[in-house]
Amino acid sequence: MRSDPSSRPRGAGRSSFELIDAEALFRVFAPRPGGEWLDMGCGAGSYALAMAERVGDGGLVHAVDLWEDGIEQLREEIGRRGLKNVRPLVADLGRPLPLRGDSMDLVLMAAVLHDLREEGIQDGVLAEARRLLKRHGTFAVVEFKKIPGPPGPPVSVRLSPGDVGALVLPFGCRQTGLHEIGPYHYVMTFAPNVVCSA
């Protein structure tokens, strides 16, 4: 997902997907079949696989992470399911991704942003998310509520909705929603600021 490819990224292998209300999450996005979605920091791909069901055969999900074993697990699951609409990619989120700008209907960061902030690389990743997002696309951030665990990281590492907004809004976005998606998580949604010309 991040810096050193020879080491397993922090939190890799443990997905928050099993802890959330997936139906509540996808109701927030109101997905339309045929979209192009990106899962940034996908791990072994639990979110990406669920996203693939929603975009359908005419859509496409890009699943990106630096954790090679996780991407390999995802590739194996894609093969088992016979999916044609998921593209796994081993890549560092801290560097530009080989994807077209202004191409994603949805960019998702699920339980990733708090790690990026801990590593001090969140600005580059958020700038890249903004570059890839369509003018009328949705940027979604899933995070653990700022309450003591387990499950999840220490409360000192967790991000409140105010923390997430402070990180994301400077990158030309506005908040469009805040929703609870289970006892441990919330999702915040953002859209690009659209400059109107006279």
- φ, ψ of residue 75 in degrees (nearest 5): -60, -40
Report pLDDT digits (tens) over 73-112: 999 999 999 999 999 999 999 899 999 999 999 999 999 9
How confident is the model at residue 32, as a pLDDT?
79
The answer for residues whose C-beta is within 8 angstroms of residue 94's C-beta and 6 or more apart is: 2, 3, 121, 124, 125
Answer yes or no: is 74 within a domain.
Answer: yes
DSSP H or E segment with residue 192: strand 185-192
pLDDT > 70: percent of the chain: 90
CA-angle at 13, arms to 10 and 19, nearest 5°: 100
Answer yes or no: is 48 within a domain.
Answer: yes
1 touches 12 (CB < 8 A): yes
How confident is the model at residue 132, as a pLDDT?
97
Is the pLDDT at 197 greater than 80? The verdict is: no
Q: What is the CATH number of the domain that holds 82?
A: 3.40.50.150
CB-count burial class (<10 Å; 0-12, 13-18, 19+) for 135: exposed
Q: Using 50, 70 and 90 to split pLDDT, how confident is the model at 30?
A: confident
Domain span at residue 186 reads: 16-192
How confident is the model at residue 5, as a pLDDT?
39
Q: Using 50, 70 and 90 to split pLDDT, how confident is the model at 10?
A: very low
Q: Using 50, 70 and 90 to split pLDDT, how confident is the model at 14?
A: low
Answer yes or no: is 130 within a domain.
Answer: yes
Answer yes or no: is 198 within a domain.
Answer: no
Total domains in the fold of the chain: 1
Answer yes or no: is 197 within a domain.
Answer: no
Q: What is the mean pLDDT of the chain?
A: 91
How confident is the model at residue 195, as a pLDDT?
55
How confident is the model at residue 198, as a pLDDT?
40
Q: Higher-confidence residue: 62 or 32?
A: 62
Answer yes or no: is 8 within a domain.
Answer: no
Answer yes or no: is 10 within a domain.
Answer: no
Is the pLDDT at 8 greater than 60? The verdict is: no
Report pLDDT digits (tens) over 118-154: 999 999 999 999 999 999 999 999 999 999 989 999 9
Answer yes or no: is 9 within a domain.
Answer: no
Give the predicted TM-score (pTM) of the model: 0.91
Encoded amino acid at 188, one letter: M
19 touches 82 (CB < 8 A): no
Closest by CA to 47, choosing from 117, 6, 107, is 107
Task: Provide the Cα torsion 130, 135, 140, 141; round to 10°.
Answer: 20
pLDDT > 90: percent of the chain: 86
Is the pLDDT at 176 greater than 50? The verdict is: yes
Distance in angstroms (rounded) separating the CA atoms of residues 168 and 25: 19
Is the pLDDT at 194 greater than 80? The verdict is: no
Closest by CA to 76, choosing from 50, 44, 110, 37, is 44
